[in-house]
């Protein structure tokens, strides 16, 4: 499999076909059992733990299926705290955060506790964290799963803006409408069948 800058690739397939596992391998969270993984000229597998950590820090924006937010903290803290490991000059400003939240329909919500937000609002907070990081690789696991169609469209358009600026996005989804917005679809179900024959 390959994916290019400025490309949105949908990963489809039935439950259990490996969509999330593939994203975790691409994001250097899970080590593949075999083969090689090179992203942007960086050998991510095989590679040391330090190389994988630096790769995640510098290049990956991940939209987890469960949002990966701290519910007892504010929206702003959930966006800023994970980025404290970034070099100081790359950390987002307060205005960057406000702008990202505004783009996603959450203006002025910086101080709200995450536990008071709906599932859809929490998903948009998770995306705001990706927007302010500006990663070169976006990995999204069912990014519209908790959203109505209008808000789902906002999420996909936001990811598309990042790819238009040079990022690559790989999106695991069951949603055919999301896949239709992507440049290419990789169907793991079909791959598994063809791999066995």
Condensed to tens digits (0 to 9), the pLDDT of residues 110-129 reads 999 999 998 888 988 999 99
Do residues 167 and 136 lie in contact, with contact meaning Cβ atoms separated by under 8 Å? yes
Question: How far apart (Å, rounded) are the C-alpha atoms in residues 56 and 28?
Answer: 7
pLDDT score for 190: 74
pLDDT score for 192: 53
Kindly list the structural domains of the chain, giving each domain's residue range(s) and its CATH number in brackets, ordered by start. Answer: 8-196 (3.40.50.300)
| Token couple for 159 | 């990811």
Residues 6+ apart with CB under 8 A from 92: 79, 80, 83, 100, 132, 133
User: What is this structure's pTM?
Assistant: 0.86
Strand boundaries in the chain, DSSP class E: 8-12, 37-39, 42-45, 60-63, 137-141, 168-172, 184-187
pLDDT, average across residues 130-136: 91
């Amino acid at each position: 499999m390959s994916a290019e800058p400025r490309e949105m690739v949908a990963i489809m397939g039935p439950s259990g076909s490996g969509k999330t596992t593939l994203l975790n391998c691409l994001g250097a969270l899970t080590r593949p059992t075999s083969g090689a993984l090179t992203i942007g000229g960086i050998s991510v597998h095989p590679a040391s733990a330090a190389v994988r950590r630096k790769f995640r820090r510098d290049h990956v924006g991940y939209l987890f299926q469960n949002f990966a937010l701290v519910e007892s903290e504010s929206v702003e803290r959930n966006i800023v705290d994970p980025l404290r490991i970034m070099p100081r000059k790359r950390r987002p400003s307060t205005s960057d955060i406000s702008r990202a939240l505004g783009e996603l329909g959450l203006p002025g919500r910086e101080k709200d506790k995450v536990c008071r937000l709906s599932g859809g609002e929490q998903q948009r907070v998770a995306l705001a964290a990706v927007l302010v990081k500006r990663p070169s690789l976006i990995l999204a696991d069912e990014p519209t799963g908790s959203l109505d169609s209008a808000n789902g469209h906002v999420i996909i358009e936001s990811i598309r803006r990042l790819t238009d600026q040079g990022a690559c996005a790989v999106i695991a989804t069951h949603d055919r409408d999301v896949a239709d917005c992507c440049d290419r679809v990789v169907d793991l179900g079909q791959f598994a069948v063809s791999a066995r024959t």
